[in-house]
Structure 1
């Protein structure tokens, strides 16, 4: 079995909680792509994280965390910047992310920083998330996308707070179309879909991304499961298991991680039924993640998922 190369951001989350009746912030290592890399490793796959990390103590903690999770850092670079922070508050159904740090430590990976051997040796390449809004990292992602010899997976992981008006949204929409056109798998949330393609149902978004060239599209719907469009079949709904959620942080990332881990083991399914099984398992992974606090720290092992959903 080969490895997955995950290109994207790593940062520190400050998650709003309460202590002694007052709001406080709990520190956690985060970043959607980092969660994906850790999730792949926890599920039995090999992963290499590729991105720019700061030069402070927080970056050291990120490196130590990834190493302890079994994630490789051969393609990570150190940059002269303080580690970016994401402050997460909960005022509605979706968590509100506010990002701090300029320039952000995760936004300084350049195309020339790529280790070509790491890119070309990967069985699966993941690109996506907020780094695509940084021109330097977008150039690196485009180069990796063009060099990849394995399967290419993409997740826009949209953060509205980082989009400065309609022009920025239109630009991101163009980037999504560009990467989707060459993707073996695109995963996005219903919130991503609603922002990128307002008024379009999830099935319509999945069908549109397949028309652009994506081989398989998964749109996650939270507790309602996911929409799957694969192998020229009509989009179908895959239900999520019933769980007792305490924190949804990282749930979508765990879906991506589970899909990547299974791609490493067995490649792409040849039939829609095979994809339905893959997505159903990924939703069980996400369900278990929701039953634990935290993002990267809640990524489960395959054995834990099978034990939790033994029935």
Structure 2
């Protein structure tokens, strides 16, 4: 069994989730951010993990720190910035939540390349980069530096948020950034919604093959209730089915897939053959199924024992 840790570079913020109480609309507060969910998920699945990012200077940031610390996530790579914690207001009108972000400057976008804890990055067995920090100049520069310094496996999740893209030029720039990082990635994970926005009109298998052509060793593309497409190195894309569950809240489901894949990379390294990747993705989809059966994103991330209890086979 391998030992080591993952370094997760990205955003931590507070989600306000649209809901109802007593017939009146309410917003439920939850610590969130895709990379934060990944970090918590890795820790819950038994992996060691360090979070790298910028946090605000208010009470909400204190709650983020408390949740991360309580989950066993290391905070040595975080910096405190003079800014209120960014709020992500989520409403639901379809299968994917619609996020609108409030806070200028965004508290999550102020980690600079000079702030980066080089030793943490160089010592990590797995480095995660991606999500909306790729849209901010400072954190994009920090991500690029981390990517170049990484001594372990590099994983990428674009986690696209359309509301933060102010037109075709912004989408084009993001597409270029994704191509840049994918070229050096051992693993790229993206959702069907990400693929449809970045590469409109392309079938999911074609998107996976394209990212492989750019240089990504393995690509996993999640399809919600339809499972996932996995395209391992030197193998054709294959669809892996998801278990059937009664979903309560899909918040963080895609992040839990990445968390499971990262946790298994930490524990066992890269699979030696395509069948090994198929098994990894099947397990990650079981993790996501457990997350969907409970409300809450980060707080719904399960342990391995919980996953095994829910899916004994």
Scaled to the shorter chain, the TM-score interval is: over 0.9
Q: Of residues 286, 289, 309 in structure 1, which corresponds to 2:288?
A: 286
Partner of 2:172: 170
Deviation at 1:231, TM superposition (A): 2.2
Match of 1:25 in 2: 27
Instruction: Show the counterpart of 2:143.
Output: 141
What is the CA deviation profile of residues 158-199 of structure 1, one whole-angstrom value per residue up to 9, with x for unaligned ones?
000000000000000000000000000000000000000000
Determine the C-alpha separation between the residues in 2 that align with 1:94 and 1:7: 23
1:85-127, CA deviations, whole angstroms, 9 ceiling, x for partnerless residues?
0000111221110000000000000000001110111000000
SS of aligned partner of 1:136: helix
Count the aligned residue pairs. Answer: 311
2:271 paired with 1:269:
yes
Distance 2:204 2:233 in 1: 17
Aligned residue for 2:83?
A: 81
User: Whole-Å Cα distance in 2 between the matches of residues 208 and 181 of structure 1?
Assistant: 11
Contact 1:86/1:99 (<8 A) preserved: yes
| Contact kept in structure 2, 1:29 and 1:62, CA below 8 Å | yes
2:135 counterpart of 1:125:
no
Q: Deviations over 1:44-91 (max 9, x none)?
A: 001100000000000001001100000000100000000000000111
TM-score scaled by length of structure 2: 0.99
Q: Distance in 1 between matches of 2:51 and 2:133?
A: 13
Over 3 Å off, 4+ runs: none
TM-score (norm 1): 1.00
CA deviation profile, 1:197-231 (whole Å, cap 9, x unmatched): 00001100000000000000000000000000002
Q: Is 2:12 aligned against 1:10?
A: yes
Distance in 2 between the 1:167 and 1:108 partners? 23
Unaligned 5+ runs, structure 1:
none
Q: Deviations over 1:119-153 (max 9, x none)?
A: 11100000000010001100000000000000000
Q: Distance in 1 between matches of 2:95 and 2:46?
A: 32
Deviation at 1:299, TM superposition (A): 0.3
Q: Does 1:94 align with 2:96?
A: yes
Instruction: Check the 8 A contact 1:14/1:26 in 2, yes or no.
Output: yes
Partners of 1:80 and 1:231 lie apart in 2 by 44
**Partner of residue 254, structure 1:** 256
**2:76 match: secondary structure:** coil
Partner in structure 1 of residue 190 of structure 2: 188
SS in 2 for 1:237: strand
Structure 1: how far apart are the matches of 2:95 and 2:311? Answer: 26
Instruction: Say which SS state the counterpart of residue 51 (structure 1) adopts.
Output: strand
Match of 2:118 in 1: 116
Task: Give me the whole-angstrom Cα distance separating, in 2, the residues matched to 1:82 and 1:191.
Answer: 29
2: distance between equivalents of 1:141 and 1:115?
12
- Hey, what does 2:44 align to over in structure 1? 42
Secondary structure of the equivalent of 1:73?
Answer: strand
Which 5+ residue runs of structure 2 have no aligned equivalent? Answer: none
In 2: Cα distance, 1:126 partner to 1:233 partner: 24
Q: Distance in 1 between matches of 2:296 and 2:182?
A: 29
By how many angstroms is 1:270 displaced? Answer: 1.1
8 Å CA contact 1:231–1:270 kept in 2: the answer is no
Kindly indicate whether the alpha-carbon contact (under 8 Å) linking 1:188 and 1:220 is maintained by their aligned counterparts in 2. Answer: yes
